[in-house]
Amino acid sequence: MSEFFYMDGFAVWVWSAFGVTAVAMIFTAVGVLRRHRGQLRQIAQRHGETSPNEPRD
């Protein structure tokens, strides 16, 4: 099992690449979720500003 983690001396490169990729994917997912929530808030605010029964000017 230790041979797997050591990877013939390339472990530093392989595991750092996995780590950087994982961090990038996490940041991307968090950014998408934050943007989605912001858009939902914006839609809710717009919907709350004008009701369908209220006349528009």
For residue range 12-33, what is the model confidence (pLDDT) as tens digits?
999 999 999 999 999 999 999 9
Ranges of H-type helices in the chain: 2-6, 11-49
Tokens read off for 53? 């029964």
Percent of the chain with pLDDT over 70: 84
Residue 4 tokens, joined: 């797997």
pLDDT > 70? residue 35: yes
Residues sharing a CB contact under 8 Å with residue 27, sequence separation 6 or more, in sequence order: none
> pTM for this one?
0.65
Residue 49 has pLDDT above 70, yes or no: no
DSSP letter at 7 equals: G
Model pLDDT, residue 28: 98
